[in-house]
Chains A and B, each alone.
Chain A
Amino acid sequence: MNDQVRIVRFNIFDRLFHVFIMVTFLLQAVTGMGRLLYQTAWGKSIVGLFGGYDGATTVHNTVGVLMIIGFVIHIAYILAKVEWQAWRRSLFSPDSLVPRLEDAKHLGQKFRWFFGLGPPPAFDRWTYWEKFDYWAVFWGLPLLGLTGLLLMFPVATSRIMPGWVLNILLLLHRAEALLAMLYIFIVHFTVGHLRRGMFPMNECMFAGSVELEKEREEKPLWIARIQEDGRLEEAEVPGPPRWYRILYFVFGYAALAVGLYLLINIVLYRNYLEWH
């Protein structure tokens, strides 16, 4: 793959944020599911990996606080990335992840293409499903973080709001976590790994770069825009070294295995799942 022209898509911060959320999300999923299904033998064995129920809770709480810190750093990062002098252009440019009217049109076009009623949509830098992935995490993280933080200190929380709010917070926390897990393990994994031309793995989030020719088909408007601006040369980067590819393949597939293992057990123990 290294003999092809590659252009940069994600910088080092984007990739680090992704690896960070992969690790923390899976840790939260494992410790959370183990505790949620604590009445089953499977839940007890999972929780046992972290030294029992209290150990798993400690890990869950600590990693949760880390995630909140990571989210705050991410907010600072995106605030620094916006060009505030021309904020309107900066926020609503095709390079921004803010949803645009085109995304809705692309969705419609995509469905028409599904049933052979038209050509597939021509995407710019971000497709609508990539934007949805981003904003799903962006809404899920504060919700889970806030409810989790309040649930972490129930006595203090009951001083500032009625105690029965904790019932609702617990419900929101569990339901949102379940939604996030199911979405990532079903939709995100399928789109990231099983699409044609991506099959073993969509490497761009780890390698940071994409093959120009592949991207010309995938996101023609983006490539055309880079070419028009004459930025194609400076966007070119060398491919990832071999050792790094091996590393991220192992890492990515380990994450995939954890996710699928959890998904299978969520399905197996669905009768014991109580989100309230």
Chain B
Amino acid sequence: MSLRSLLRKARLPVAVGLLGTTILVPGPAPAQEEVADALRRYKDREVSTGFYEEYEVKPRRMRPFIKSPREAPPQRPFPLSSTAAVVRNRTYLADSHAGIQFYARRRCEECHVTEATHSHTVRGNVTCRQCHGGEPIAGINYYYSPMNPIRRHSYVCAKCHEGANASFATFLVHEPPAGAPQTRKVFPSFYYANWFMYLLIVGTLGFFGLHTLIWMGKESYHAIKEKMEPEPEAKAEEEPIKEPEPKPEAGAGPKEEPAGGQENE
């Protein structure tokens, strides 16, 4: 039985099946997601947002199980320097810029140079403060910060991305440089995906670029050579109408004459 006749025969059952599925299986409603569990009821929402109805509740001791690539290099037993130690601790402060001199007169991107060029700012025209909040800007790990991963999705992401959940919030807006060695530790899959694509691009373009380059060089070499010394074969090539060569029929590969019509690849 050919595939075509099989498809023709299966037309009706497939159509009925699709129709039945569409009618019988209810579509997911966004609002059901958090409440769907009859046993846990609002627990998911409570755990992930710290909110139960309008009261803010303390999340449980454990951070909800949000697996995300670490945004900072892994902690060392001892800080590299006293400054580094201060910088790291600042992510836990209620006012992460406390004590910085002339802070009122400085702009975010003066210090956060690489953080200022990312897709949300460049494309979406989002400002730093729209996500990180107004003064005093809380560190992202500060317990009550809206940027804290336990509630980031509902306080920050969902402002624009309706329905954002904790998983959505693990998207890295400030990506680490994909090819850099330290990224292998913070976000390995990103690092390996980047190098895979890099090697694929360089390999493909390198191989076929070289292939094309040599090919074109070879062809122009033959073209110039034939122009310099017009041989009988070259003339035959220019007027192919008058000389239909019946030769290649005899043997599959008319390979014996390197200066023949073969350069006309």
A80:B3 contact, CB within 8 angstroms:
yes
Please name all residues of chain A whose beta carbon is closer than 8 Å to the beta carbon of B244 when the two chains form the complex.
Answer: 213
A132:B253 contact, CB within 8 angstroms:
no
Contact among A158, A187, A217, A275 with B168 in the assembled complex (CB-CB below 8 Å): A158
CB under 8 Å from chain B, chain A span 201-223: 213-214, 216-218, 220-221, 223
Could you tell me the distance in whole angstroms from the C-beta of B2 to the nearest C-beta in chain A?
6
> Is A182 among interface residues, defined by CB-CB distance under 8 A?
yes
Main secondary structure, interface of A, reads: helix
Please name all residues of chain B whose beta carbon is closer than 8 Å to the beta carbon of A39 when the two chains form the complex.
Answer: 117, 122
Please name all residues of chain B whose beta carbon is closer than 8 Å to the beta carbon of A79 when the two chains form the complex.
Answer: 3
Residue of A nearest to B166 (CB): A163
* Assembly CA distance A11 to B169 (angstroms): 50
B208:A167 contact, CB within 8 angstroms:
no
* Assembly CA distance A178 to B205 (angstroms): 11
B252:A158 contact, CB within 8 angstroms:
no
B248:A224 contact, CB within 8 angstroms:
yes
> Is A266 among interface residues, defined by CB-CB distance under 8 A?
no
Please name all residues of chain B whose beta carbon is closer than 8 Å to the beta carbon of A187 when the two chains form the complex.
Answer: 205, 208-209, 211-212
Residue of A nearest to B193 (CB): A168
Contact among B33, B198, B245 with A213 in the assembled complex (CB-CB below 8 Å): B245
Leading 6 A-B pairs by shortest Cβ distance: A175-B197, A119-B255, A158-B168, A276-B178, A163-B170, A122-B253
User: Can you pick out 30 interface pairs between chain A and chain B where the beta carbons lie within 8 Å of each other?
Assistant: A3-B241, A4-B241, A110-B215, A113-B218, A114-B214, A114-B218, A119-B253, A154-B168, A155-B168, A158-B164, A159-B33, A162-B170, A167-B172, A175-B201, A179-B201, A183-B205, A183-B208, A186-B205, A196-B219, A196-B220, A197-B264, A213-B240, A213-B245, A216-B248, A217-B261, A221-B253, A224-B249, A275-B194, A275-B197, A276-B175
